Structure 1
Amino acid sequence: MDNRMKYTIDSNMQFPLVEVGLEKGESVYISRGSMVYHTPSVTLNTELNAKGTGVGKLFKAMARSAVSGESTFITKAISSADDGVIALAPSTPGQVVALELGEQQYRLNDGAFLAMDGSASYTMESQSIGKSLFGGQGGFFVMTTQGEGVLLANTFGSIKKISIENQSLTIDNAHVVAWSTSLDYNIHTENGWIQSIGTGEGIVNTFHGTGEIYIQSLNLQTFAEIMGSYLDRSGS
């Protein structure tokens, strides 16, 4: 048993469900609240989202949640039979992309994590104060993958993969989903606060080097502002 995720993404659906097949003893980590349905052999267990044991593990998980916005807990699905199935759906309407971990590792933006098989893992990598204050990548920590396996990431809207080789590229931070750990990155304003207000671009992320960047076509922050304006009118 290699514990690698066996999954299918329904391409006939505009906003697809993901079905994950589990053999006896296999497990998968899933985003909190992402389960749609599962077979009787699959059990969902809540675990503290940190390494260690006892009270120290609890405090680590709580501290991580306080500074990064990440949940204190993570859900682990495990099957007691060879025919286990669990279906997952993202919290926002969009696509799901499977990232193969091994030679390539990734950092993930907030809200991009959907699932990861039990053969891989991740850490919360500390960021510089400047990067954390400009935000969007988990505050003081950014999720960074490790090991070999499959990571499922979800997007708001459609997804596009961009490959750069010894280049630099600036992307609106709210459109960034995931990027190779081989890339250097710098979160900053587009051209100072006044210019950023004028252009409406706000915070951007400039990548340097060779690697992959996954971006989403829609901006959740902009969408929330538009919806908020309508809600304000209806409540006035």
Structure 2
Amino acid sequence: MSDNRMKYTIDSNMQFPLVEIALEAGEMAYIQQGSMVYHTDSVTLNTRLNAKGSGIGKLMGAIGRSIVSGESMFITQATSTAADGVLALAPSMPGQVIALELGEKQYRINDGAFLALDGSAQYTMERQSVGRALFGGQGGFFVMTTQGQGTLLANSFGSIKKIDLKGGSITIDNAHVVAWSRDLDYDIHLENSFMQSIGTGEGVVNTFRGTGEIYVQSLNVETFAHVIGNYISTGSSS
């Protein structure tokens, strides 16, 4: 996009809003697989290998990236051939959508929070330490790290609250973390000892230190899945 800023509208009148992205001729955006709700005739969706280069090298790069990071081999690219292209998206979980402007600020994104990224920005999968990976639960050995200039749309499960950390530290349940400033130091660990964590129900947490932004979601998908699971019968009665 010419000004490196996505042109988007989030309908605040909807409890679980759609996001409409306006695309001019030749503009593109990368979107979460399966997030498209509708688009105008000028917008085309194409699946391409999630790697750089060309030919067999690009294919092998995409396969390797998928194996080591858990990331999909493919990414969906939306492109418009006219000046009035419109693309509407919805996240896979009910919740809020926020826009993070990339440039002077860069972010790390937790697993499942990515919705869309305009074509002028990029992301990489950043390797975590072994300790972080073993305890992470979300993100595994890698987390998504942004770079360049543009706009990233992130989604949550439930509502999003922004925390401005100005020195010091804060500890947050890892399942509630959506995104955080790349400059923040962070450490994923157990809240207490293993037995204490079982007893309190507070397990894997993320402690942030420094100055930056942290975005947290009000709901915990793991806890919700457990609650729903209590009402789902997995066997058959004779």
Pairwise TM-score range, normalised by the shorter structure: over 0.9
- In structure 1, the residue matched to 2:52 is 51
State how 1:101-180 maps to structure 2 within 5 Å: 101-180=102-181
Q: 1:49 Cα shift?
A: 1.4
Structure 1 letter corresponding to 2:195: I
Q: Deviations along 1:151-193, whole A, 9 cap, x unmatched?
A: 0000000000001111101000000000000101101110121
8 Å CA contact 1:124, 1:141 repeated in 2: yes
RMSD of equivalent CA atoms? 1.4
8 Å CA contact 1:108, 1:137 repeated in 2: no
Q: CA separation of 1:139/1:63 partners in 2, compared to 1, >3 Å: closer, same or farther? A: farther
Unpaired segments ≥5 residues, structure 2: none
**Secondary structure, in 3 states, of the residue corresponding to 1:232?**
coil
TM-score (norm 2): 0.95
Structure 2 letter corresponding to 1:122: Y
Q: 1:235 Cα shift?
A: 5.3
CA distance in 2, matches of 1:234, 1:15: 33
Q: 1:58 Cα shift?
A: 2.2
Q: 1:68 Cα shift?
A: 3.3
8 Å CA contact 1:2, 1:119 repeated in 2: no
Moved more, 219-228 or 86-95: 219-228
Q: Deviations along 1:61-109, whole A, 9 cap, x unmatched?
A: 2233234332211100000000100000000000000001111100000
8 Å CA contact 2:138, 2:175 repeated in 1: no
- In structure 1, the residue matched to 2:188 is 187
Q: Deviations along 1:39-66, whole A, 9 cap, x unmatched?
A: 0000001111122332232233223323
CA distance in 1, matches of 2:194, 2:57: 41
8 Å CA contact 2:33, 2:75 repeated in 1: yes
CA distance in 1, matches of 2:235, 2:217: 30
TM-score (norm 1): 0.95
Q: Deviations along 1:167-224, whole A, 9 cap, x unmatched?
A: 1010000000000001011011101211110111110000011000000000001111
**Secondary structure, in 3 states, of the residue corresponding to 2:231?**
helix
- In structure 2, the residue matched to 1:90 is 91
Q: 1:137 Cα shift?
A: 3.8
8 Å CA contact 1:102, 1:147 repeated in 2: yes
8 Å CA contact 1:188, 1:203 repeated in 2: yes
State how 1:1-40 maps to structure 2 within 5 Å: 1-2=2-3, 4-40=5-41
CA distance in 1, matches of 2:147, 2:138: 18
Q: 1:234 Cα shift?
A: 7.8
Structure 2 letter corresponding to 1:44: L
8 Å CA contact 1:179, 1:213 repeated in 2: yes
Q: CA separation of 1:133/1:57 partners in 2, compared to 1, >3 Å: closer, same or farther? A: farther
8 Å CA contact 1:7, 1:19 repeated in 2: yes
CA distance in 1, matches of 2:86, 2:151: 17
Moved more, 197-206 or 134-143: 134-143
CA distance in 2, matches of 1:47, 1:77: 11
Percent identity of equivalent pairs? 73
Unpaired segments ≥5 residues, structure 1: none
CA distance in 2, matches of 1:54, 1:131: 35
